[in-house]
Structure formats: structure tokens, C-alpha cells
Structure 1
Amino acid sequence: MTVSTFSELELDESLLDALQEKGFTRPTAIQAAAIPPALEGRDVLGSAPTGTGKTAAYLLPALQHLVDFPRKKSGPPRILIVTPTRELAMQVADHARELAKHTHLDIATITGGVAYMNHAEVFSENQDIVVATTGRLLQYIKEENFDCRAVETLILDEADRMLDMGFAQDIETIAAETRWRKQTMLFSATLEGNAVKDFAERLLEDPVEVSATPSTRERKKIHQWYYRADDVEHKTKLLVHLLNQPDTTRSIVFVRKRERVHELVAWLREAGINTCYLEGEMVQAKRNEAIKRLTDGRVNVLVATDVAARGIDIPDVSHVFNFDLPRTADIYLHRIGRTGRAGMKGTAISLVEAHDHLLLGKITRYMKEPLKSRVIDELRPTTRAPSEKLTGKPSKKVLAKREEKKKEKDKEKPRVKVRHRDQKNIGKRRKPTAATTTESPKVDE
């Protein structure tokens, strides 16, 4: 059955009113696929990248369950949502409050970077939904401050990120503590590889597997291309030129390593571009301040690593720059999903050195569409483009040369002389008789 409107999903009027007030009338692909089985109480294994509406895909059925089966008296949380980062936890909780604004449901968060006293009300008062990060939640469970016995639905958001961050054992411990639950939902940006699926098999029971990649129409809202660069210095000049363009209003620049963050921020500031940054080791107050400076318009550029940028949701991002290409194609999809949101158009630009072309080939195959190359006249690369195709597959000529080299090496190997006596059949060896066996000497006790 094709679902074209939220009203077809048999959601409560209070939820439909909240959706309408937010301007949402048609479910996204992941919402249309995940909500019906979740409403039936099935376990759900969902694959959807950032910006596809996956948060509402698990929040709406969870809220509907609480509306359909109201509790008779106050108690500990019935819905537990676990996220990899504090920022994502706060965003999910805010989204849940918006959707539940016409209900009497209580929603709270448990995250690191917050004093214990601020969480005391979560333990003492009635809570229907708790959104938490793994570390602080596990601490409270071990201290017996958080009661898991009432949890009916466990939701794991961005499970692939949690596995990357080494939280697998923590999540399994949390899942074991919520063993009385009736439903589990796990969402990941991608189900490629065995890691997430193997992990899901241990936690989910006969799940419905749903996935939704952005439609071609959605992807076309994000214009993508790349510039070839000779080296890091050339990439920096290209980036400065692009950031100074009038249509570049709010940008996120992605790099691979934390060390590169500080280098690039210094270079951009020398060029007169006011920049803020996020890195993995920043304290929460500084992270919040950096994000606030960008959203308030005090700066227009944020430099970040993939780890540091997990879970942040910054509105009206006009451009995403890949100063360093990501190691995997699904991370590329995560990155560019920061722009072109809420029906707006966006731009994703990659700066590519010669050694990046194999990665670029992987990304184009994953996206199933080629990325076009552009050139800035005054900043043309001086080096030639790699001769091998972007697919990363060696040409027939290269394969033939490899075969010749292999044959030459085989010729150079010393030949082992095969002697006739080595091939003789020496027959079976005779078993030792009783006469030939020797008894071990007895020791007087």
C-alpha cells in the first residue's frame, strides 16, 4: 500500500494537528515505510541517511503507542531513545516535544556534560519518553538511579555511528537492562557491510527491514561538483575564493583529522574569513558556543571533523565543502545532507587532489551519478589529471603489464629438483610388537 498523506496512517488527531502546524502533510519515503509496521508493534531495522525524516519515522509510532495506551499512574519512562551524541539527543527531544505538543506526554533527556542535580527531576518525576546518550545513561543504570523495567520500546538512532564510536558493548548492556520491552527499533545511515546487521540480529526479533535513500528529485536539490587541486596550499586558495562568493552564505567545511581543523581555521582567519570550529575533544560549553555563533550569523563558516559534527542540526546551510574527501561514500552522503534541507536547494563542493581520485570513483558509484569537474580560471591546477578512470579499475594495458611481471618473477624462482627416490612408495610402516615395547621402570613407594 502506498501512503501519500499522514492521515492515511491512522495517527491520533493531536499528532496530525502538530504535523500540520509544522507544515508536514506527506510522509517521506522512510516514514511511509517504517511507520505502518512500527504501529503494529513490529521490530524495525531502518536505513536512512541524514535529512530523510527518520526521526519522525520512529517518534510518531512511539507517541501513538503512548496515546493509545495511556498509563494509569505516573512512573518511569516507557520509551527509551538512545543516540550517539548530546546534540542529537537534544534535537530528538525537541522534535518529540513539537510532535507531542497537543498531548500530556512528558519528555526528558539524559546526557553527559550536565550536572547530576539537573537530572534528579528525571528520576523523581513522571516521564513518558527519555532521550539519552549511552555513557551517562549506563552510569545511572549501574547506580540504580534509572529504572528500565517500564521501558516498552527501545529505539537506537544512528546505530552505525554508535558502533564507530565503540559503544557496542554499552548498547548491549542497555538492551539487556530493558529486557521486558515489547519493541525495538534500530536506525542507521546505511546497512552496508555486516557490522550493523550482525549487531541488529542480537537485539531485534524478526524485524521488518526498511530503507530509503534520497530520491533523485531530492538529490537534485543539492548541486554537486569538484575542483582538482595540486596540493593543500592550492586547496586552501580554492576554498578562500569559494567562501568569498556572494551566494556562499552559511557553510560547513569538513576535514578528516582534528589537526587539520586548527591549521585550516588559522589559514582562513589569515585570509580574513571569520571562522568557528568543532573538534572531538571540545567541552560541551565551547561546542554550544561555536554552533550558536554560526546560527546567530556572527560567523558564516564552520570547520569540523565528521566525529565532531555528528548529530548537529544547523539550519539554512547553503554550502558543504569537502576540504578532505571522506573515507567512505556513506559519510559523503551524511556530509552533503547538511545542506538542501526543508525543501531548500544546496551546494556540495569537493576539493580533490590526485591521490583522492580512487575515493572519488567510489563516491560516484555509490551515488550512481557522476560528479562534474569545474575550474576557476585564475586557480587552474598545474598538474595533469590522473590517467586512470575514476572507477578505480586498472586498464587492460595495466593488467597485461602485471601479468608479464608475474611471469618473469615465476621464471626467476629457483626450481626444485624432483628425484625419483622421493616419489617411491615406501609402504606402510609396521606396528610395534609387544616384544619391542619397553616398560617404564616401576618406582618403589
Structure 2
Amino acid sequence: MFEQLDLDEKLCSAVADMGYTNPTSIQSLVIPPAMEGKDILANAPTGTGKTAAFLLPACQFLLDFPRQQPGACRILILTPTRELALQVYEQAVQITKYTDLECGLITGGINYGTDRETLEKNLDILVATPGRLFEHIEKESFDCRDIESLILDEADRMLDMGFSAIVNQIAAEARWRKQSMLFSATLEGPGIARFAKDLLIEPVSIEANPSRKEHAKILQWLHLADDPAHKYALLKNILANQVETAVVFVKTRDRLNQLKQMLERDGFQIIWLQGEMPQDKRISAMAKFKSGDIKILLATDVASRGIDVENISHVINYDLPRTADIYVHRIGRTGRAGKKGIAISIAEAHDMGIIAKIERYTKQRLKRRVIEELRPKHKEAKAPVKHKKPKSAKKKIKKPKKK
């Protein structure tokens, strides 16, 4: 029960309205030390209640130590994408609905007039993307001196997107803060270690092992394609006969536009998300997808972390990702909060190298599936094995014989 975590009854009532009765493992592990004011370094799979894990202790702090005078925001939450920022903001509004706490949102793609209106309020919680917020810091339209808690959501994605320098500058501007929290889908790699060292002081390190109920139940399988035409035929068949709602991933905007035209030509109703898309169009597209008006969403990897929609039945990797960890982030869009999901990859011969890496990374083999009328003609191409070059033997230098 959330009450056992010493949370205010106003917050518990709001959480109950959201349909949650018991905290997830990440919430149980994060909330107590966070409420003690300790810095947090947390790793948790997507879909396990991570957002509430940092929002609830932040809100509790604001209720325990109410604002004494008007001022700028007290809790700053940075997210890598606009979609994720919007979702965190919406959840913050839901959690604070029985309180007087004021929440705001600052992201790229929204006109600066709206930003000014937001920043003129006595904000308690601000959710922002780093680039747009830093513009306001440089213009002196945002003051970091009142920030008491800095929270980084999906820090590994921020690093991937090249935000580390800007985030460090924002953190330096908020150097009077009392607490910092860093959440990431993975804590592996030197980048995250450096990030944590720069931003956190003696953090409590938390790695959540979700219960079977919480853990994503994602069935993963692979269709082999002979060539691009066969690959597209497989996608059409899957979309027409298997999916309820699907996110289809492609590598680039050009690929997205090409696939969009092909699917629309063949009678599919679709929406799409890509980088550098006006915010109003993004919000409109996601609203249609969330409501179920349109069942198929095309996306590039830029948008992959921002998609948090319940009841996505399928994730389809039409283009395989560059790396195995991006694959894991992609398929995390389905199987949310313990619900079953299906992840399908469609691979040509040249994709088998990354398939092998994915199987090693996830420690499971992707099950091969066949659609009878679209059975591949060619056998599976094995990934090339890289043989290490043998170390060259040192040549013995013959010493000249003494005369």
C-alpha cells in the first residue's frame, strides 16, 4: 500500500484514482531514500512505474516544505524527448490534482509566448527538454537558483542524443540544489558513470528486479526476407492479419516517408512520428494513436523513447536498429506493466549480423516464424564470424657469429 510509504493522503488518493493500489518494486526501493533527501542512481526497465517513483517523493517534499514566498520552479525534471516530457507532465498533473502544487511544461516546438506564460507562474514542478530550457537560461528568462531537486529521466537516452554538455551546464546553474536523481534504462557504459559522478553526491544505487507481474511479457520472433519487396509483403500481411495496434520502426526519416507512402497507397490508415516535427502535429498524432482512432504508428528511433501508450499489441522492427540496446528500448513499447506484447523483426541477409548481437545481448534466440504463402526462398544467412588475427610471432634476430 502507498500509505505505508508515509506519503500524504492527497497523493495516495490521486494514485488510487490512477488505478494503482500497491507500489511497484522500483517505487518501493526509490521512494524511502528519496524522501530522506538522498541522491538516487536508479536502473529500471521501462513500464515498471519509474515516473511515479520520482514524482511521489518530489511532491511529498513540496508538501512537507511549502513555498514561503513567490519564486521560480523548485523541482526540475529533464527528459530527452518532447513526447516523454509531455507524458511525465501529464502524470505530474494527475498526482498533484488534490494539492495546490503548480506544474509546468517547456519543450521545443511550442511557441515562446506559451513558454513565457508558463515561466511567469509560481511553478513547483517543471518538466522540460534540455535544449529548450537552456535557451531560456541563456536569455535569463528562467532562473535556476530556486531549484531544490534535479531529476534526470532516461539519462542514457540523453547521452545518446548528445545532451550531456547542456545537462551539465543546467546542473551547474542549479548548484544550490539539495538533491539529484538520475534514472536510466541501463547503467552500463562509461558515459553514465561519468554523468552520475558529475551530478550525484554519494547516491543510493538502485537496480530494480521487477516481479513477474510487473515484468514485460514480450514474445519475440523473426521473419526472414529475401529482398525489399518480400520484406514489404511480410509487413503488409502482418499489419493486415495479426496486429491490433502497432508501432513500426524504421531507421531514418527518408525511410519513414517512403514506407508511409507505400502503406497509404495500399489502403492502410497510419500516423507517424519523426525528429524535427512540429509539436502540435506530434501531439495530434499521439492523441489519435492513444484513442485508438488509428492503429498503426510509424516512428524513427528519435521518437522511440517518447512513446508510452498502454495496450500496444505489436512492435515491428521493419528496419533493424544500429545496436542491441536500441532494440531493447524499441520493444519496450509493448508489454507494458506486465501485459503481453509481441515484437517482430523482419530481417534480410545483411541484417543477420545485428540479429546475432541482439541475441547475445538479450541472451535468447529470436524464434523464426514463417507465413506460409510468403515463405522465404533462401536459407538463413549466418552472421559472419570475425576471427581474431593470430599474434605475429616475434622473429628471432640471429646474432652475428664471432670471428
Distance 1:238 1:219 in 2: 29
1:58 paired with 2:54, answer: yes
Aligned position for 2:104: 108
Aligned position for 1:379: 374
Q: Could you tell me how far 1:218 is from its partner in structure 2?
A: 4.5
Query: Of 326, 344, 349, which residue of structure 2 is paired with 1:349?
Result: 344
Q: Percent identity?
A: 52
Secondary structure of the 2:302 match is coil
Distance 1:227 1:320 in 2: 13
Distance 1:193 1:68 in 2: 37
Query: Of 24, 27, 32, which residue of structure 2 is paired with 1:28?
Result: 24
Q: Could you tell me how far 1:187 is from its partner in structure 2?
A: 0.9
CA offsets 1:326-377 (integer angstroms, 9 cap, x no match): 2223222221221222453221111122232332233233333332111111
In terms of mean alpha carbon deviation, does 292-301 or 322-331 score higher? Answer: 292-301
Kindly provide the amino acid, as one letter, of the partner of residue 127 in structure 2. Answer: V
Task: Say if 2:46 and 2:336, in contact at 8 Å, map to a contact too.
Answer: no
Secondary structure of the 1:151 match is coil
Aligned position for 1:11: 7
1:269 paired with 2:249, answer: no
Q: Superposition pairs for residues 46-125 of structure 1, below 5 Å?
A: 46-125=42-121
CA offsets 1:364-420 (integer angstroms, 9 cap, x no match): 3333333211111111111112356xxx867xxxx6xx88xx69x98xx9x897462
Distance 2:97 2:189 in 1: 39
1:209 paired with 2:205, answer: yes
1:339 paired with 2:334, answer: yes
Query: Of 281, 300, 303, which residue of structure 2 is paired with 1:286?
Result: 281
Aligned position for 2:223: 227
Distance 1:301 1:376, change over 3 A: same
Task: Say if 1:236 and 1:267, in contact at 8 Å, map to a contact too.
Answer: no
In terms of mean alpha carbon deviation, does 174-183 or 25-34 score higher? Answer: 25-34
Query: Of 157, 176, 182, which residue of structure 2 is paired with 1:186?
Result: 182
Task: Say if 2:153 and 2:184, in contact at 8 Å, map to a contact too.
Answer: yes
Task: Say if 1:59 and 1:96, in contact at 8 Å, map to a contact too.
Answer: yes
Tell me the matched-pair count: 403
Distance 2:261 2:211 in 1: 38
CA offsets 1:294-333 (integer angstroms, 9 cap, x no match): 3344432111111133313333311110112222232222
Distance 1:351 1:375 in 2: 11
Kindly provide the amino acid, as one letter, of the partner of residue 199 in structure 1. Answer: F
Aligned position for 1:146: 142
CA offsets 1:268-315 (integer angstroms, 9 cap, x no match): 223222222222132223323332333344432111111133313333
TM-score under structure 1 normalisation?
Answer: 0.84
1:253 paired with 2:245, answer: no
Secondary structure of the 2:45 match is coil
Task: Say if 1:49 and 1:334, in contact at 8 Å, map to a contact too.
Answer: no
Task: Say if 2:317 and 2:344, in contact at 8 Å, map to a contact too.
Answer: yes
Unaligned segments of structure 2, at least 5 residues: none
Query: Of 287, 292, 297, which residue of structure 2 is paired with 1:302?
Result: 297
Distance 1:275 1:363 in 2: 28
Distance 1:104 1:129 in 2: 12
Aligned position for 2:359: 364
Distance 1:198 1:324 in 2: 32
Distance 2:156 2:232 in 1: 31
Q: Could you tell me how far 1:213 is from its partner in structure 2?
A: 5.3
Distance 1:196 1:368, change over 3 A: same
Secondary structure of the 1:381 match is coil
Distance 1:70 1:417 in 2: 80
1:317 paired with 2:317, answer: no
Distance 1:9 1:51 in 2: 21
Aligned position for 1:420: 400
Distance 1:44 1:417, change over 3 A: closer
Aligned position for 1:433: none
Q: Could you tell me how far 1:139 is from its partner in structure 2?
A: 1.5
Distance 1:69 1:160 in 2: 31
Aligned position for 2:192: 196
Task: Say if 2:48 and 2:337, in contact at 8 Å, map to a contact too.
Answer: no
CA offsets 1:67-89 (integer angstroms, 9 cap, x no match): 11112222211111111122211
CA offsets 1:127-167 (integer angstroms, 9 cap, x no match): 11111111221111122221211111001111111111111
Distance 2:57 2:128 in 1: 19
Kindly provide the amino acid, as one letter, of the partner of residue 400 in structure 2. Answer: H
Distance 2:304 2:36 in 1: 35
Distance 1:355 1:68, change over 3 A: same
Distance 1:253 1:94 in 2: 25
Distance 2:292 2:119 in 1: 38
Distance 1:296 1:12 in 2: 32
Distance 1:297 1:217, change over 3 A: closer
TM-score under structure 2 normalisation?
Answer: 0.92
In terms of mean alpha carbon deviation, does 57-66 or 326-335 score higher? Answer: 326-335
Kindly provide the amino acid, as one letter, of the partner of residue 44 in structure 2. Answer: A
Task: Say if 1:49 and 1:333, in contact at 8 Å, map to a contact too.
Answer: no
1:41 paired with 2:2, answer: no
Task: Say if 2:305 and 2:329, in contact at 8 Å, map to a contact too.
Answer: no
Distance 1:220 1:57, change over 3 A: closer
